[in-house]
Amino acid sequence: MRGVLNEQTKTVHKSTDQTHRLAACGALFHVSAESTVSVDVADAVDEGDASRCGRCFDDAGGY
Ligand SMILES: [Zn+2]
């Protein structure tokens, strides 16, 4: 699954259909494009030490 990573917080969000630069939950609205990158969600979590956004992923478990 494709997602968008906030490199400042190391949080992966589900990306919107329109662009891989915006999170489905809206969290990245105020984050500059330089701080976000389109990634594969599983790779970012397993290899990039990122955590999944609790609002974008129901199974992420808490905050
Ligand atoms: Zn999110």
Q: pLDDT tens, 5-19?
A: 999 999 999 988 766
Sequence spans of domains, the chain: 2-52
Q: pLDDT tens, 6-60?
A: 999 999 999 887 666 789 998 888 888 889 999 999 999 999 999 999 999 987 5
Q: How remote is the CA of residue 21 from the centroid of ligand 1, in Å?
A: 12
Q: How remote is the CA of residue 43 from the centroid of ligand 1, in Å?
A: 17
- Number of alpha helices (DSSP H) and beta strands (DSSP E) in the chain: 1, 4
At a CB cut-off of 8 Å and minimum separation 6, what does 36 contact? 4, 5, 6, 7, 21, 28
Q: How remote is the CA of residue 29 from the centroid of ligand 1, in Å?
A: 11
